[in-house]
Amino acid sequence: MKRRNFVKNVSLASVAAPFVLKDINFQAIEKKLFNYSKNAADRVFVIIRLNGGNDGLNTVIPRDQYDNLMIQRPNVVVPETSILSLTPTLGLHPVMTGMQSMFNDGKLSIVQNVGYPEQNRSHFRSMDIWSTGMLDVNETRGWLGRQFDNDYPNYPADYPNATYPDPFAISMGYEVSATCQGLMANFSQALEDPFAAVNLLSSSVVNDGSYFGSHMEYLATLIDQTNAYGAQINTAANAGNTLSTLYDDNNPIAVQLRYVAQMISGGLKSKVYILNINGFDTHNAQVSSTDTTAGAHADLLKTLSDAVSAFQDDLQLLGLENRVAGMTFSEFGRQIASNASDGTDHGDAAPLFLFGACINSGVIGPNPTIGNTIIDQEGVTMQIDFRDIYASILKDWFEVPMADIQPLFEQTVTFYQVLGACNLSVEDQEFEKTRILLFPNPAISATTIRFETQNEWVKIEVFDLEGKKVLDVFDGNLNQDTHTIPFEIHDLMVGEYLVNVLKSSGNQQIKLMKVK
Amino acid sequence: MIPDLSIEEPVSLSMAPYSGAWTKAEAAHLLRRTMFGATNQQLLNAVADGMNTTVSNLLQIPVISDPITYDSNDATSAIGTTWITSVYPSDVTSSQLTENARIKSLAAWIMKRINTEGVSIAEKMCLFWQNHFSATVASDARATYNYHMLLRTHALGNFKQLVKDVTIDPCMLLFLNGATNTLYSPNENYARELLELFTIGKGPQIGPGDYTNYTEEDVAAGAKILTGYLVDGLRSTTLPSPVSTYTSFLHDTSTKQLSAHFGSVTVPNAGANEYSNYIDIIFQQPQVATYICTKLYRYFVNYDLTTAVMTDIIPEMAATMIANNYDILPVLDQLLKSEHFYDVALRGSIIRGPIELMFGMFNATSSAPNFSLAVDSEMYLTMYWLAENMGQAYATPPSVAGWIEYYQAPAFSKLWVNSTHIKTRFDIANYITVYPGIPVSGQNLKLNALAFVDGLSLPSDAVQVIDDMCDVFFPKSISLVQKTTLKFILTNGQPDFEWTLQYNDYQANPGNTTFSNPVKQRVELVLARIFQMPEFQTI
């Protein structure tokens, strides 16, 4: 069991309030999502949108339901023998050999029956719901946009800057992504080709304090920002590399993912990349009338599978596997029964894929149950709320504290272990060795100590190098657990200190470096 | 950057008639807010006519011509004739092709209406109502056209009557499930939006299911009141147009109880007219006037409903509206002549939406496609798609609440522009000026730079050319440095008299491209620059 519990946080109530925490702002310490640890800051998440409503039942096929699938969708279902086996009861569409290999290598996982309550079968509305991560029709921000807003509250005014020179998200194609819509601006930069120069005419307008002036400032900022981000993207793409030979130039998603690999390897610090595949609205001729393993849907799945597996191959060759993970999503699945046009109509829940070397491989959730009688318009029943998957990604991958995640969503969040395999941050690795950790260290105004205890009394003090006590951090009883306590070091002079953790099970010391 | 307290608010909060100076700046402000793109000559006329005459000119809805078939896929109406009452062919494929041809024709026609708006608020009002009553296209272009015409006909008319007509319009019945709202399966979709978005507005929730102005019970009662209307004749092979029909056995004849917000009145069964009685009850609440006036204010004046605006401006507008039994025209007449409207603090307070942006370029330069019916239609369709690309597809607002840029605090119209859309805006600017044009059907869609410069006050004078352009395109005066830069582009860095010589040579040699091309090129370069300035992005 890896130690990922530090975000579980010693809540203030559970410890005797350390008196040094007079005006400490917990929020401030835990702020900067996507930056909680060095590792999380380096992590990249790739989102592939399957636009139009992907037919989950012909993508991830519940083999144990095959007989009833034959009853419900005889003209669409692929031959049982052609299904690519994942588990004895589950398989992939025959064209998805790349993703099958990824599954076998532990680099692909499947979350079953994902949707939301009272599925809306309108493309637009449902895509809004998936983009905002909210059922509330009044929500206009994206699920990532809300988190970005929390972290970078004055965006776009103060960005880019020396600390954040790169766009926070990249949307491949013409459109910025609705998932990244924030309060004042969209956090994503849309681009088709990272090598293309962006050179919008910039201007030196002045905000004269009027409404007009505020618009001028906004527009000038946006123009400068688009240029600056464009230049960063160019630089990264040119500095970057790509090593896989599996990319197919005729596969548009493969081409885009190769660009993504190029940008990541070139050092671009964007945290999210969003891609889009159109065409999943397969009402007619989803399958070829002569061969159900061929047709429009098969082509789309092959595009997806080939592209993602080439990308994963590239990441491995580039040594980036532990930094990149991704997911697919679609606004809904399709109905269980096929229609007479060799297609399927708008339905409800569907599986989604998570991919990357760091995902918790395997299958989350049971196979959907397919009845033996056709019920008009019946869809796959939702079992896992997609909003919980989003929340789990924020927690597992970006290490956002759970307490900060819940306010982003309207439902009571249930966390799933979706991305765990590499979830050992630099701090974690250090902690594994020493069982005690200060982060950040060196620190400027505040730091946090993490340590383990039995059920015992604990006292934490800070001493200068001459042995004089300069700070009391904690004094009280703690339960057996890993604890995390933030404390302020505002008043300390710049220099080296020793943090002493006194406990019956054995004392520990760790050096603290206070810097300006 | 977030609109904050430090922003300089309007000085005048008076709805009294504006009596200050009436110069090109005031006239331009009026036309910028009420039209998509006025020409320099239209500005000069407005200055000469004075405020009162200009406002009364603006508040007229011109008679327009019908959409015309231009695509041979329309199986039942000939090219060059209108399709608005033509039946559909019986063959399913042919019917769909006919529909595609008609919807393209309709989209092109709406863009042409905007492109040829004249001095009238009509097109701005049509877009206002399309945003307010946000029904999207039906599966029958005739229904979509009729819906548009309903909004156009009532554009400055009676708001109450408009709500009544919209309520049983086939397009709206289909859009918000009114057509499936029956005694046996009530559907609250329209009943909810009628209150929440179309008439009284949703206030803060002050109790379980109580939104200050109405309750969940009112929504449920409203749904029952509205039962019984169906839509008939979609893509009919015999009917000239889809119609809404009242079917009495699908109507809920029970007596409906409204909440205390509507005086706890009951609505007895009144069959086909019950919806009308219900709307009369809703409109007895003055909050309806307040609600629609805030939307008009945001659309024509400013997004920022400050406490002062809510205290001093909106109540006066609402009072005017109620005094005129919910007629729109008197409210706009008062607003567009008010001191507040002309307050300098409000100039440039709105970022142009995509349609305002595009026709701010085409209309203000008197540029219109002028090839053939088919090519022109395709060009207008291209404009439709360009606007869609920038986030505003005229006939399909993104949600029933309309475009978020008209309501979403705190950013409002800033949301029109993001890293993608700013690029598209600048790309279009380049394509229709300094590039050969946007290729459409073998022709190029491009501004008419020569006609534009010829229409300015004194085209041979470089200084005057730039001054006129600033009046036409910018909501506020720009700095001397900026003006000098623009003039530098116009004259190619030469002394001003060189421009005069060049322009006069061109005038003296009509049709001679040796002389006209350099003039055209310089004007296009200036326009390209102007359209990529942040100042132009606002009105």
**Residue tagged 């039209």 (tokens):** B35
Q: Does B348 touch chain A (CB under 8 A)?
A: yes
Q: Does B402 touch chain A (CB under 8 A)?
A: no
Q: How far is CA A218 from CA A148, A154, A281, B429, in A?
A: 18, 12, 38, 20
B30-53: buried (b, 16+ CB within 10 Å) or exposed (e) per residue? bbbbbbbbbbbebbbbbbebebee
Q: Would you call A497 helix, strand, or coil by DSSP? A: strand
Nearest to B1 among A189, A218, A229 (CB): A218
Query: Which pLDDT tens digit goes with each residue over A254-278?
Result: 999 999 999 999 999 999 999 999 9
For B224-283, the three-class secondary structure string (H helix, E strand, C coil) is: HHCCCEEEECCCCCCCCCCEEEECHHHCCCCCEECCHHHCCCEECCCHHHHHHHHHHHHH
CA distance A397 to A355: 12
Nearest to A209 among B8, B302, B404 (CB): B8
Q: At CB < 8 Å, which residues of chain A contact B? A: 124-125, 128, 137-138, 140, 154, 156-157, 171, 174-176, 183-186, 188-190, 198, 200-201, 203, 205, 208-212, 214-223, 225-226, 229
CA distance B513 to A210: 45
Whether residue A215 and residue B537 make contact (CB cut-off 8 A), yes or no, is yes
Q: Which helix (H) or strand (E) holds A87?
A: strand A84-87
Provide the mean pLDDT of chain B: 96
**Residue tagged 């896929």 (tokens):** B73
Whether residue B8 and residue A217 make contact (CB cut-off 8 A), yes or no, is no
- For chains A and B, CB pairs below 8 A equal 110
> How far is Cα of residue A469 from the mean position of the Cα atoms in its chain?
43
Closest CA–CA distance from residue A26 to any residue of chain B (Å) = 25
What sign has the CA pseudo-torsion B528, B529, B530, B531? positive
Closest CA–CA distance from residue B520 to any residue of chain A (Å) = 22
Which of A16-25, A146-155, A159-168 bottoms out in mean pLDDT, i.e. has the lowest?
A16-25
Closest CA–CA distance from residue B290 to any residue of chain A (Å) = 21
- The reported pLDDT for the residue numbered A421 is 57
CA distance A20 to A433: 28
Q: In one letter, which amino acid is B196?
A: E
Q: Which stretches does DSSP call E strand in B392-456? A: 438-440, 443-445
pLDDT at A163 over 70: yes
Of A34-38, A443-447, B126-130, highest mean pLDDT: B126-130
Mean pLDDT of A434-448: 80
Mean pLDDT of A426-447: 74
Q: In one letter, which amino acid is B203?
A: G
Q: Considering only CB atoms, which chain B residues are within 8 Å of A178?
A: none
pLDDT > 70: percent of chain A:
90
Contacts of residue A254, defined as CB under 8 A and 6 or more positions apart, other chains included, come to A247, A248, A303, A306, A307, A310, A311
The answer to whether A338 touches A76, Cβ cutoff 8 Å, is yes
Q: Considering only CB atoms, which chain B residues are within 8 Å of A186?
A: 418-419
Report residue B256 as tokens.
Answer: 């409906």
CA distance A358 to A436: 25
pLDDT class for A427, splitting at 50, 70, 90? low
Whether residue B2 and residue A184 make contact (CB cut-off 8 A), yes or no, is yes
Q: In one letter, which amino acid is A108?
A: L
- The reported pLDDT for the residue numbered A35 is 36
pLDDT at B101 over 90: yes
Report residue B371 as tokens.
Answer: 């090839």
The answer to whether A498 touches A462, Cβ cutoff 8 Å, is yes
Nearest to A200 among B1, B404, B426 (CB): B426
Q: Which of A118, A137, A215 is the best mutation test for B, with the most CBs of B within 10 A?
A: A215
Query: Which pLDDT tens digit goes with each residue over A194-218?
Result: 998 888 988 878 888 999 999 999 9
The answer to whether A114 touches A389, Cβ cutoff 8 Å, is yes
Query: Which pLDDT tens digit goes with each residue over B72-86?
Result: 999 999 999 999 999
CATH of domain A44-201+247-408: 3.40.720.10
Which of B31, B70, B28, B39 is CA-nearest to residue B447? B39
CATH of domain A5-31+426-514: 2.60.40.1930
* Domain boundaries defined on chain B: 449-537
CA distance B138 to B179: 12
**Residue tagged 């006519």 (tokens):** B49
* Domain boundaries defined on chain A: 5-31+426-514, 44-201+247-408
- The reported pLDDT for the residue numbered A11 is 27
**Residue tagged 């005086």 (tokens):** B263
The answer to whether B178 touches B172, Cβ cutoff 8 Å, is yes
Q: What is the CA radius of gyration of chain A?
A: 25
Question: With 0-12 CB in 10 A as exposed, 13-18 as middle and 19+ as buried, what is B204?
Answer: exposed
- The reported pLDDT for the residue numbered B24 is 97
The answer to whether A56 touches A380, Cβ cutoff 8 Å, is yes
Other beta carbons within 10 Å of A513:
14
Pairing between β-strand A272-277 and β-strand A456-464 as defined by DSSP bridges: unpaired
Other beta carbons within 10 Å of B338:
21
The answer to whether B119 touches B57, Cβ cutoff 8 Å, is yes
Pinpoint the alpha helices (H) of A370-506: 386-396, 402-405, 426-434
- The reported pLDDT for the residue numbered A173 is 86
- The reported pLDDT for the residue numbered A467 is 84
Mean pLDDT of A219-236: 94
Pinpoint the alpha helices (H) of A399-447: 402-405, 426-434
Which of A295-299, A441-445, B208-212 bottoms out in mean pLDDT, i.e. has the lowest?
A441-445
- The reported pLDDT for the residue numbered B219 is 95
Report residue B329 as tokens.
Answer: 């025209």
Contacts of residue B494, defined as CB under 8 A and 6 or more positions apart, other chains included, come to none
Of A95-99, A219-223, A496-500, B203-207, highest mean pLDDT: A95-99
Whether residue A226 and residue B422 make contact (CB cut-off 8 A), yes or no, is yes
pLDDT at A187 over 80: yes
What is the residue-wise DSSP string for B326-343? Answer: TBSHHHHHHHHTBTGGG-
Report residue A113 as tokens.
Answer: 């029956």
- The reported pLDDT for the residue numbered A216 is 95
Q: Which helix (H) or strand (E) holds A351?
A: strand A350-355
- The reported pLDDT for the residue numbered B162 is 98
In chain B, which among 278-317 make CB contacts under 8 A with chain A?
Answer: 302, 304
Pairing between β-strand A446-453 and β-strand A481-488 as defined by DSSP bridges: antiparallel
CA distance A510 to A492: 16
Report residue B520 as tokens.
Answer: 């055209």
Helix crossing, B141-153 with B122-132: angle to 10°? 120
Whether residue B419 and residue A184 make contact (CB cut-off 8 A), yes or no, is no
The larger pLDDT score, comparing residue A132 to residue A454, is at A132
Q: Considering only CB atoms, which chain B residues are within 8 Å of A228?
A: none
Query: Which pLDDT tens digit goes with each residue over B486-522?
Result: 999 999 999 999 999 999 999 999 999 999 999 999 9
CA distance B241 to B335: 38
Which of B103-117, B306-320, B404-418 bottoms out in mean pLDDT, i.e. has the lowest?
B404-418
